[in-house]
Amino acid sequence: MSTPVVLTSSENPLGNLPSLLAIRDLRRRLGRELRGRSVSQDEVVRILQFDPLAVVRGLRAASAPIFGPAVSGWSVRSMASRLGPALSRRLLKTPTFGVAGTTALRRLWLHAIATALAAQDLATQTGLVDPEEAYLLGLLHDLPMWLALVDEQSPKSSRTITPAEWIAHWQLPANLVALFEARSAPPGHASVERPTDATALVFAAELLAELADFGHPDDDLEPDAAGAVLAAADKSDLVAAQKLRRQVEGSLRAFGLDPTLPDVDPDEDHEPRLHAGRQHGELHDVVLSVLGCTRSESYRGIVTALTAAGVRYGGYDRALFVRWDQTSARVLVRSKADSSARRLVTTMLVPTPSEVAAMRQALLEERPIRIGAELGQGEGILAALSTDELLAVPLNRAFETPGFLLLDRSLSAMPILPERDVSMALTLGMTGSLLIENLLLRRRRQRAQKFALTDSLTRLFNRRMGLVTLDQELARCARSEQSMTVLMCDLDHFKQLNDSHGHLQGDLALRATAEVLRQTLRRSDTICRYGGEEFLVVLPDTTADEATVLATRLFTAVQTRGEELGLPVTISIGLTNYRTGDSVESILQRADHALYASKDYGRNRFSVDVEGPDEVVAGVR
């Protein structure tokens, strides 16, 4: 069994030459044309139509399996639409560079644009394929030759990866792959007229580009062969070729890229203002950005801050937060940030053995680790993300299901360099781990506080919380002179119910009564289990008259609920209101006095003590 080929950053041809428009003089021309302008999304699409290698990167990112199943009929516009405005602009935000021997690249570039425009026109005339799809096929029809030229400009490695192997590894759209395979065989299409399928249409468009003097850089046609091509072309072909030449020059001229014009301001560096977002930042910027969610009450807030900081300050194209179940060796994708509105379709990933080993090493060392793809890898995390490398940042390694931040630059094709990227990623991971652990501790404290202040059976506040709330409401009434009413409720004949039906049914009666209280009263009211079968209700901003209506609803609703359960459940209620100078003891004493009056009058009713310390009015059933 052969050893898998693990890819390195230096071998990626799209990383070594990430954008044709990043060549310095072309970037200057484009920059001068766009200077001072707000570039629309439609203009971004038109600029991308001049950049074959940027489109390849975009196609790969747009068709990543994690965002949905493979589709057919791609175009530059549909690719940009799926990526969204921010990522479409990021495709063009690559550092400028000078490349030795760019003559061949420029000739191939012009040939690609001419073929694309010719294919678009032929598709419009014949209806064989969508014109925008035909443009894409024409633009990328020479991708194997592009990769061969890029390889000549790249540092030589100890192994050779062929263009065909790269194309298969990138999992490009099926119609493109079919075109490349057809071009590897003798064409059999020598006529500009009457193409019969998409492949023949691209061959015909390429012939028009040749006739328009946009040939291949290594065109090895002998003079006699070239003369034969010209001789085979009729007058209409030559007219179409002249029209195509004007069309190519006009399209490029619209963005200052006309190759017939001399370059000026060779020392002036004009960068197109494409607003792709901030990249790279100081470590303190990263920490402050994440610490902004210190008081977040959910993992989502912390995770959102972590992934957003990775994209904003680390210069990454995408950041994912995942949970790793080491028992099942599954990775669950919980959140993503990539400056787009794309939704995750696949959230459960199965890593390859090499990816599992790398993630275990990252947890063991508590450090970010670079994971490189294997050539031809069709499964695993990197295949699902359609990327050749990512940085895996471990979070909370002591958890049963530890988390990871997965950071990649598949769109911009900039390499991940450990000496430059690990310190920022390490800071991000440590800060995120601390925030998540802090959230866990706060949640534990909140649960402990909740158990200390609530009754486990009825899930109401307990006596302690009820008395604290009553004391606070009394102080508020003393300051504002607002009204307040207190109800003391007691289940009737509860001991008999326990003796005759059992303690489990008694517990059921208590829970049912508590639920009726919750559903009948307002959210601003405080309900607590005061004693064994007693409940205390504090009604702020409520007069005695208003409270009598509530009391009537309460005892009738409890009786109805008891009948539904087949249990003799009723309550008696004592009602009193706030009086100047009241204390917790005095108001509870009056409520208790009124409660016992209800018991004396026959139970399942309410009584009111509002006139004076010795006057009680009984409620009517």
Q: Hey, which residues are catalytic here?
A: 533
CA distance to 79, 324, 484, 575, per residue, from 472 (Å): 62, 48, 12, 19
Closest CA to 134 of 53, 50, 71, 76: 76
Determine the Cα–Cα distance for residues 491 and 497; give it in Å rounded to an integer. 10
Closest CA to 318 of 286, 350, 340: 340
**CA 70, 73, 75: angle at the middle one, nearest 5?**
110
Phi and psi, residue 336, nearest 5°: -145, 155
Residue 49 CB coordination number (10 Å) = 23
Long-range interactions of 551-554: CB distance < 8 A, separation 24+: 551/487, 551/575, 551/606, 551/619, 552/606, 552/619, 553/520, 554/487, 554/489, 554/516, 554/517, 554/520, 554/521, 554/606
- Coil, helix or strand at residue 7: coil
Name residues whose C-beta falls within 8 Å of residue 201's C-beta, 6 or more positions apart in sequence: 119, 122, 123, 126, 128, 129, 134, 137, 195
Centroid of chain to Cα 240: 47
3-state SS record for 374-414: ECCCCCCHHHHHCCCEEEEEEECCCCCCCEEEEEECCCCCC
Residue 449 CB coordination number (10 Å) = 10
DSSP string, 152-213: HHSPP-SS---HHHHHHHHT--HHHHHHHHHHTS------SS---SHHHHHHHHHHHHHHTT
DSSP string, 79-130: HHHHH-HHHHHHTT----B--TT-HHHHHHHHHHHHHHHHHHHHHHHH-SS-
Rg (CA), the chain: 37
Determine the Cα–Cα distance for residues 61 and 91; give it in Å rounded to an integer. 10
- Coil, helix or strand at residue 253: helix
